[in-house]
Each structure stands twice: as structure tokens, then as C-alpha cells.
Amino acid sequence: MATDLTNELLSALGDDGFFSLVEAHAGVRLYIPGDPDRSELPSTIGVDAAYRLAKAYPGGYIRVPLAREFRARRYVAEGLSNRDIAKRLGLTESGIERLLKRARKRGALKPRRKKDPRQIDMFPLPDDEEN
């Protein structure tokens, strides 16, 4: 995910705009018109994101990244299972497990911890003590 274009798009669009872009157009070459109102972009990624994209790349083409890890982290935050994430990204469940494991190792994703809210934490992890 650490490509220059991905970073440029993230800084131009923000997380929500970038997510809308990759959800609608991941993996394809996309023409960015100078006037987004004359295209389908506002309806697919939102008016604000379309204008920011047009300002950054007027009249040009971009290859929209797949951004699988970014999308997977977003899906995890939404509470989707690995199975559902795999279906959305076109990967196997074990592929999703590896992808999420790498993200956790780098610190880009916190471990999922399903815990009964009534249960006390007898052995808190160092970052849990802040809560």
C-alpha cells in the first residue's frame, strides 16, 4: 500500500474520500476530468472527493490502487469477519489472515479482541492500561 500514488491520493482525498475511490474504481485506469460535474465521479466517490481529485489531477489518468490492506483495515473497523472481507477483496480467508497479520506486526492494526464486556481484564496489555 505504500506507493507514491496511494500516499498522494490519501493526502488529497483523506481516508474517507480515498476509501470511496478505491471501493468504486480499485484496479482500473481512471480519467479525471477538469470539471467533475461532467462525469460520474461525484455520484461514485462523492462531490467533495471528486472536486479534490479533479484539482490534483485535472484532465489526467490515474491507476487507482487496489489498496487491499487499507480496505481490509477499514472492514475490520466496521466489524466484518475475515470471510466477508475475503469475499469483498477477492482473496482467500487465509490470504486475509496473512494480510492482517502483517498489518498488526507493523502496528497499522490493533488485534481483534472479542471480549465479554462483563469480564474483567486480569492481565492487561501495556496499551490497554491507557483506557
CA pair distance 53, 59, nearest whole angstrom: 10
Secondary structure of 6-71 as H, E, C letters: HHHHHHHHHHHHHHHHHHHHCCCEEEECCCHHHCCHHHHHCHHHHHHHHHHCCCEEEECCCCHHHH
pLDDT at 80: 94
Residues 6+ apart with CB under 8 A from 81: none
pLDDT at 2: 46
Residues 6+ apart with CB under 8 A from 128: 121
Q: Are 87 and 71 in contact (CB under 8 A)?
A: no
pLDDT at 60: 95
Tens of pLDDT along the chain (131 residues) come to 448 999 999 999 999 999 999 999 999 999 999 999 999 999 999 999 999 999 999 999 999 999 999 999 999 999 999 999 999 999 999 999 999 999 999 988 887 766 677 877 777 766 644 44
